[in-house]
Amino acid sequence: NAGVTQTPKFQVLKTGQSMTLQCAQDMNHEYMSWYRQDPGMGLRLIHYSVGAGITDQGEVPNGYNVSRSTTEDFPLRLLSAAPSQTSVYFCASSYGHEAFFGQGTRLTVV
């Protein structure tokens, strides 16, 4: 089925650990983005990409890295997890008048 596949669904990390959240789409969309959702804050843009090889920072990029080596994949890396990164993360893929979201990753950093 076409759509955005985001893994894992849940993750617990210890402070200082690193991990990568995976995001893949099969709709050939150029624009992909990562958001974090915190209570009372809505969804805030972390990083986005307008095509393979092109990434840029969003509203809250600190502590996160991204890369876009292919149109399909847009992984989000936490190099050294901190408790402030405890959140729900959503990957999105969009084009023209359409936007699709992954199921979300609930990340807890202890």
Partner 1 sequence: GDSVTQMEGPVTLSEEAFLTINCTYTATGYPSLFWYVQYPGEGLQLLLKATKADDKGSNKGFEATYRKETTSFHLEKGSVQVSDSAVYFCALLNAGGTSYGKLTFGQGTILTVHP
**Minimum CB–partner distance for residue 63 and partner 1 (Å):** 21
Please classify residue 92 by burial: count the beta carbons closer than 10 Å to its beta carbon, then call 0-12 exposed, 13-18 middle and 19+ buried. buried
Residue 102's Cβ-side half-sphere holds a number of Cα atoms within 13 Å equal to 29
Residue 89 binds partner 1, judged by CB under 8 A = no
The correct pick among 21, 23, 25, 29 for binding partner 1 (CB under 8 A) is 29
**Minimum CB–partner distance for residue 69 and partner 1 (Å):** 19
Residue 1 binds partner 1, judged by CB under 8 A = no
What is the spatial distance between Cα 24 and Cα 6, in angstroms, rounded to a whole number? 7
* Residue labelled with tokens 């969003």: 58
What is the spatial distance between Cα 65 and Cα 18, in angstroms, rounded to a whole number? 11
Positions in 53-72 near partner 1 (CB under 8 A):
none
Residue 41 binds partner 1, judged by CB under 8 A = yes
Residue 35 binds partner 1, judged by CB under 8 A = yes
Residue (17 or 30) nearer to partner 1, CB: 30
What is the spatial distance between Cα 35 and Cα 68, in angstroms, rounded to a whole number? 16
Residues that bind partner 1 (CB under 8 A): 29-31, 33, 35, 40-43, 45, 48, 50, 90, 92, 94-99, 101-104
